């Protein structure tokens, strides 16, 4: 996957190469990351890339010509790439969308600054708009890095043999079960006995139930959207019985 980022701050993307999974994916050529300075495509000799909004108002808008030049340059180098702009108005980025993106040979990620980008850019030169969440950033750069990170870890081989993107939260549609490592007792809190039992069936059932309880308590919305596995309904039914017993006990007592 070739990531081409169009930005006024290309140096920010060196942060991805400091260490970890993304750096390794670049070194093994599973991905490439090229940050292109939009200012290099300014059409005047002062390198101006913003201007005042038509109709008035505070703040500045990114001029269309430098961005158009940068996008056409990137598309010429990567004709097969999908072009996305990071903006609060975009489709909300989630794990389902992250899973769609490794299907493209390349992604061109456009990072706006100032109060926004001239509307004609997204109309004519962009395949889609994407938002990493309902909040406003000073620029699209951090959002682009979030997308690069989430997509890269789904590329085959990027996580390495020992890790897998299959096991984690959202691939099951549920929150992750609790994880423990040594020591067996830490500050008076013990690791659940079942995890030391060597009974792989029991461990796998315990983890699934822990995921279900955790998701029910912290993100009940996720349980409504996911298909449940055989055994899940029986477990939830057992929880329902426990809760009903407790409620009945306390309501007849008062």
Residues classed as catalytic: 88, 115, 153, 168
- Burial (CB < 10 A; 0-12, 13-18, 19+), residue 79, is exposed
Given 58, 136, 217, 253, the residue binding ligand 4G3 (CB under 6 A): 136
CB of residue 39 to ligand 4G3, shortest distance in Å: 16
Name the residue nearer to ligand 4G3 (CB basis): 65 or 176: 65
Of the candidates 83, 103, 176, 89, the one whose C-alpha atom is nearest the C-alpha of residue 132 is: 89
Of 112, 145, 174, 177, the one binding ligand 4G3 (CB under 6 A) is 112
Which of 18, 24, 19, 16 shows the shortest CA–CA distance to 161? 24
Give how far the C-alpha of residue 84 lies from the chain's centroid of Cα atoms, to the nearest Å: 14
Stretch that binds ligand 4G3, among 110-118, 168-176, 180-188, 210-218 (CB under 6 A): 110-118
> Shortest approach of ligand 4G3 to residue 6 CB, angstroms?
12
First vs last C-alpha separation in the chain = 64
Minimum CB–partner distance for residue 183 and ligand 4G3 (Å)? 41
Taking the CB of residue 83, how many other CB atoms lie within 10 A of it?
21
CA separation, residue 34 to residues 70, 79, 86, 130, 139 (Å): 12, 15, 16, 19, 18
In this structure, the number of other CB atoms found within 10 A of the CB of residue 17 comes to 12
- Which of 67, 109, 117, 125: binder of ligand 4G3 (CB under 6 A)? 117
Q: Choose, by CB under 6 A, the member of 58, 135, 156, 162 that binds ligand 4G3.
A: 135
In the complex, the smallest distance separating the C-beta of residue 7 from ligand 4G3, rounded to whole angstroms, is 11
Q: Is 128 in the site for ligand 4G3 (CB under 6 A)?
A: no
Select from 78, 125, 140, 172 the one that contacts ligand 4G3 (CB under 6 A).
140
Which range touches ligand 4G3 (CB under 6 A), out of 27-35, 72-80, 83-91, 196-204?
Answer: 83-91
Which class for 78: exposed (0-12), middle (13-18), buried (19 or more C-beta within 10 A)? buried
Q: How far apart are CA 109 and CA 6, in angstroms?
A: 6
- Tracing tokens 């549920």 back to the chain, one arrives at 174
Q: Is 97 in the site for ligand 4G3 (CB under 6 A)?
A: no
Strands 82-92, 128-131: parallel, antiparallel or unpaired by DSSP? Answer: parallel
Residue with Cβ nearer ligand 4G3 (33 or 143): 143
Shortest distance (Å) from residue 91 CB to ligand 4G3: 10
- Chain residues that interact with ligand 4G3, rule: CB under 6 A: 85-88, 112, 116-117, 131-133, 135-137, 139-140, 143
């Amino acid at each position: 996957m070739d990531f081409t980022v169009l930005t006024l701050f290309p140096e920010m993307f060196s942060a991805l190469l400091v260490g970890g999974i993304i750096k390794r994916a670049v070194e093994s050529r599973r991905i490439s990351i090229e940050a292109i300075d939009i200012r290099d495509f300014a059409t005047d000799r002062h390198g101006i890339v913003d201007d005042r909004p038509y109709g008035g108002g505070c703040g500045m808008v990114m001029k269309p010509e430098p961005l158009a030049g940068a996008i056409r340059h990137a598309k010429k180098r990567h004709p097969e790439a999908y072009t996305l702009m990071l903006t609060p108005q975009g489709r909300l980025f989630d794990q389902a969308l992250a899973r769609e993106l490794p299907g493209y040979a390349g992604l061109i990620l456009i990072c706006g600054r100032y109060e926004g980008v001239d509307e004609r850019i997204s109309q004519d030169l962009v395949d889609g708009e994407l938002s990493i969440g309902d909040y406003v950033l000073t620029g699209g750069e951090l959002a682009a890095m979030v997308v690069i990170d989430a997509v890269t870890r789904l590329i085959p081989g990027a996580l390495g043999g020992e890790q897998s993107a299959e096991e984690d939260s959202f691939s099951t549609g549920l929150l992750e079960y609790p994880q423990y490592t040594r020591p067996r007792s830490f500050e008076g809190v013990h690791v659940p006995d079942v995890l030391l039992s060597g009974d792989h069936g029991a461990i796998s059932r315990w983890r699934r139930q822990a995921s279900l309880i955790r998701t029910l308590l912290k993100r009940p919305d996720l349980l409504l959207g996911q298909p449940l596995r055989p055994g899940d309904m029986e477990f939830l039914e057992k929880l329902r019985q426990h809760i009903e017993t407790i409620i009945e006990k306390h309501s007849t007592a008062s």
